Amino acid sequence: MSDSDTVGRPGAPGLARGARGGAAPDTAPEAPISTPQGSGGTPAQPPKVITRPGDKIFKALTVGSGVFVVAMIALIGVFLLIQAIPSLADNQANFLFGRDWDADPEGGLAFGVLDLLLVTVFSSVFALIIAMPVSLGIALFLTQYAPRRLARPFAYLVDLLAAVPSIIYGLWGAYVLAPALAPVSTWLNENLGFIPLFATGTSNLAIGQTIFTAGIVLAVMLLPIITAISREVFDRTPPMQVEGALALGATKWEVVRTTVLPFGRAGYISASMLGLGRALGETIAVLIILSSTTSHFGFSLFDGGDTIASKIARAAQEFNDPRGAGAYIAAGLVLFVLTFVVNAFARSIIAGHKEYE
């Protein structure tokens, strides 16, 4: 109300301009309105700001919370760095490109993180490749196809998957899924073994302590995360968009394709990256499932090995020597940085589509 009053006075000369602007086709009719307001020229009175104690307290609280989060992340980074530097200085191997891990301080430190990093990324990406399409399917089913009566309990069930502790997933993976997958992995290995992905690896297929098993378990763990966020985003598709597509004669799938998917795309990608972050850091399930090995990672799904997180967890009981522990903390630092890279990557994807939102 008061807004239109203030615009009224300086807007008067602008009105004539606006009318002519309407005739000239390339100027938008709304454009002139902002100009007279900005260059009004009337000596602006100092605005009277009313502040009550509540404002001050609330502001302090919110600013404090914001600073706290940033400080926490910075402090964690600094902690990792400080702990890692002495060990890195003593390291006799190339840390980033070395493939062998010897963090026993007795014989001199020689640790390289490359193999751990590769297994971490490889298993997580494999999990993501399985989880992304399945989550997309579940989220679309829940928001677009399922009858409302079914959608709610079903969504609740999917959310419940996120609440299952990862140790349970680990046990299930190692004792139920791993043997059950043996025929599948044997078949893949025998028939598609010429592809490096399915080549014979370091792990026994009959027992199934492979990256293949771990990746599938990780995928199940990612499902609820990606599904929950995607579902929220898809649900927020503006009804006007949906009606617009329907009125053009779009079928259900065409409505999804022209409105729901483009609208939810950025949210779906963020959700997937959040899931990837979870997979990269997952520790206990991977620790239980994967068989440890001393041979190098060969880019096969049927390799064993260790991710950064599971390697650290395996050694955690023996952190009695700061130099040995420092080696593991250095690996942790790599994981820390990796999650940052993943997040930055996700953001760059989303930013690329900003124009259309």
Residues that bind other proteins (CB under 8 A): 18-19, 22, 25-26, 28-30, 148, 238, 240-241, 243-251, 254, 258-259, 262-263, 265, 353, 355-357
- The 3-state DSSP class for residue 94 equals coil
Nearer to other proteins, 9 or 252 (CB): 252
Shorter beta-carbon distance to other proteins: residue 26 or 106: 26
Is the CB of 186 or the CB of 241 nearer to other proteins?
Answer: 241
Rounded distance between C-alpha atoms, residue 249 and residue 115, angstroms: 54
Nearest distance from residue 259's CB to other proteins, in Å?
7
Nearest CB to other proteins, comparing residues 143 and 210: 143
Q: Alpha helix locations (H) across 105-147?
A: 114-140
The number of C-alpha atoms within 13 Å of 191 and in the hemisphere containing its C-beta is 6
> How near is the Cβ of 263 to other proteins at its closest, in Å?
7
Q: Between residues 55 and 243, which has the closer beta carbon with respect to other proteins?
A: 243
Give the integer Cα–Cα distance in Å for 300 and 306.
Answer: 13
β-partners of residue 102 are 110
Helix, strand, coil percent content, the chain, rounded in steps of 5? 75, 0, 25
Nearer to other proteins, 267 or 281 (CB): 267
Query: What's the closest the beta carbon of residue 46 comes to other proteins, in angstroms?
Result: 33
- Over the Cα atoms of the chain, what is R_g? 28
209, 217, 218, 229: which is closest to 290 by C-alpha? 209
Closest approach of other proteins to the CB of residue 266, in Å: 10
Nearest distance from C-beta of residue 351 to other proteins, angstroms = 15
Give the integer Cα–Cα distance in Å for 23 and 43.
Answer: 33
Q: Which tokens hold the place of 21?
A: 């602007």
Q: Which is nearer to other proteins, 62 or 251 (CB)?
A: 251
Q: Are 279 and 124 in contact (CB under 8 A)?
A: yes
Please report how close the Cβ of residue 230 comes to other proteins at its closest, in angstroms: 17
Q: Which is nearer to other proteins, 29 or 66 (CB)?
A: 29
Residues in contact with 123: Cβ distance below 8 Å, sequence separation at least 6, in sequence order: 211, 214, 215, 218, 279, 286, 307
CB of 233 to other proteins, least distance (A): 14
Q: How far is the CB of 240 from other proteins (least distance, A)?
A: 4
Exposure class string for 141-167: b at 16+ Cβ within 10 A, else e: ebbbebeeeebeeebeebeebeeeebe
